[in-house]
């Protein structure tokens, strides 16, 4: 009987210690805010990495990654950093703040804005086939990078509507590289 009590107590201690260790996996908002400003961390992280981080990685940096990403994407940061923030916002298609930010950016761009291709792809990733109507207008844009981004967005995320539009674009696109990309999607 004493042996059984000892085993039960030992198991309780082991499992108690394990559950405490796993509780510290992600920081809570209060402790994170006390340590370092999450916006500064997010700017530093997006500026150093060469890939788009996962939602888990972003959550480890900030208690509210969407708020920080919206701030960076909409702020006065370098284009490359803003582009990475927009691409990261596409991971949060269920968050209305992310969708509204990317949609507003898509609607307000001037023709020469360097961020436009990334916003087109991010918007398509967030909205799928429902977003085809809004990005369709960029299919005949004068800039090749914008047209290519539109083709990629339609091909990857546009569903059947995107496929049909790409079929029409295959007949009208004149740039050989863009035309080849269209043909890769509609084969």
pTM here? 0.78
Most confident region among 28-32, 40-44, 66-70, 111-115 by mean pLDDT: 66-70
Q: Tokens representing 140? A: 């005949």
Q: How far is CA 10 from CA 54, 154, 164, in A?
A: 38, 59, 65
Q: What is the pLDDT of residue 24?
A: 46
Tell me the pLDDT of the chain averaged across its residues. 87
62-120 confidence digits (pLDDT tens): 999 999 999 999 989 999 999 999 999 999 999 999 999 999 999 998 777 899 999 99
Domains of the chain: 29-108 (no CATH), 110-187 (1.25.10)
Q: Cα(first)–Cα(last) distance of the chain, in Å?
A: 74
Q: Please spell the DSSP secondary structure of 21-45, one letter per residue.
A: HHHTSS--HHHHHHHS-HHHHHHHH
């Amino acid at each position: 009987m004493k042996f059984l009590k000892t085993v039960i107590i030992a198991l309780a201690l082991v499992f108690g210690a394990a559950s405490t260790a796993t509780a510290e996996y992600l920081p809570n908002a209060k402790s994170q805010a006390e340590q370092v400003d999450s916006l500064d961390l997010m700017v530093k992280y997006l500026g150093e990495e060469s890939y788009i981080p996962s939602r888990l990685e972003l959550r480890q940096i900030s208690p509210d990654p969407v708020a920080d990403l919206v701030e960076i994407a909409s702020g006065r940061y370098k284009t490359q950093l803003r582009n990475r923030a927009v691409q990261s916002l596409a991971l949060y298609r269920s968050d209305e703040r992310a969708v509204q930010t990317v949609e507003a950016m898509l609607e307000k761009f001037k023709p020469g804005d360097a961020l436009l291709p990334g916003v087109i792809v991010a918007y398509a990733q967030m909205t799928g086939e429902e977003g085809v109507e809004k990005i369709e207008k960029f299919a005949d844009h004068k800039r090749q990078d914008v047209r290519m981004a539109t083709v990629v967005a339609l091909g990857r995320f546009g569903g059947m509507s995107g496929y049909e539009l790409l079929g029409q674009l295959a007949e009208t696109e004149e740039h050989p590289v863009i035309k080849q990309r269209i043909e890769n999607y509609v084969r």
